[in-house]
Amino acid sequence: MTAVPSVTAPPLPDLGDVDLAPPDLAALFAAERALQQQLEHTTDAKARAVLKDQIIALFRAVEAAEARVASLKHAVKSLAERWKQGEGRGLSSNRAGATSRVDHLGASTYIEKGWSRLALGDAVAAEEALQKALTLAPGSSEAESLLGWAQMMQEQYDSALLTFHNVLLREPNNALARTNVGYICLRKKIYGEAIEHLSRAIRLDSDGKASLYAHLYLGLVYFDREMYDDARLFFHKALALGPNLLQAWFELGRAHWFSGDREAARSAWRDGAAANKFNPWGKRCAEQLAAVERGEAPSREM
């Protein structure tokens, strides 16, 4: 058996105990430098496997640091908003014991508007509405979760991930935020973590939208891995939960097509197009059906 060569690089800190105070941020940088040195001097397969686990641990610690800093940034912005509101009311109002008012009713109007824009695929308009909702109700987890979704739809994955981490720091069982973290992991092809987040969102069973999309995204995970039977199963479950989720018809058609059942694929796209010809995904179903009738194959890419 080949001996694992000794490495003289500095030892790694205990990443599980990192508390993100400035000295601990310095420790994360030191850990990165230590891993760089070890990676340069290690060729043995077993030693490199250990390094892989250490790199993953460091990455997760850095992600946690990003989320904590983003949460602090949001808190400081809220302080600034509260200060501005106090200035607008004047010192006499403050002396009378007035407090800043959170307009939940107005915020809910913008949250509903943001959700409807997301359902129509208009992520830019959704983001605008949800930013207004957060101005009226800072710290609203619902508005922040939907805002992250709007950012995610625009492929602003790093911004979205920080937004969702803000929510999960406050509410670890927020199913919608966890569902969308799962989707981002899918897009980054981190399949194991995607399945973990999406499965947990389904087990929580606390948010209908989250459960619906968690099934859809799990279907996409298995489609991306060319496990078409599993993909079809989750697309069917998504349609059982939400028959108007026309993206599931589109993706179900692709899963049928690439598993070799071309007629079932055409049927799925036909059903999706007939369900709502004005919906963006209904239009995509109609366009895909027309394309395959011309002899063009669908894309494997999302």
Spatial separation of the C-alpha atoms in residues 75 and 83, rounded to whole Å? 12
Cα angle value 220/242/289 (rounded, 5°): 60
Helices (H), 96-227: 104-119, 123-136, 141-153, 157-170, 175-187, 191-204, 208-224
Query: In this structure, are residues 58 and 30 in contact, taking their beta carbons and an 8 Å threshold?
Result: no
pLDDT score recorded for residue 31: 80
pLDDT score recorded for residue 52: 79
pLDDT score recorded for residue 95: 35
Within 10 Å of residue 299's Cβ, how many Cβ atoms?
9
> How many Cα atoms within 13 Å fall on the side-chain side of residue 7?
20
> How many Cα atoms within 13 Å fall on the side-chain side of residue 222?
21
Tokens representing 23?
């000295």
Query: What is the pTM assigned to this prediction?
Result: 0.61
Segment 96-112, tens digit of pLDDT: 333 345 566 678 889 99
pLDDT score recorded for residue 296: 95
Tokens representing 263?
């007629």
Amino acid identity of residue 201, one-letter, is A
Segments of the chain with pLDDT less than 70: 1-25, 60-105
pLDDT score recorded for residue 76: 56
Distant-in-sequence, close-in-space partners of 209: CB < 8 Å, separation ≥ 6: 115, 176
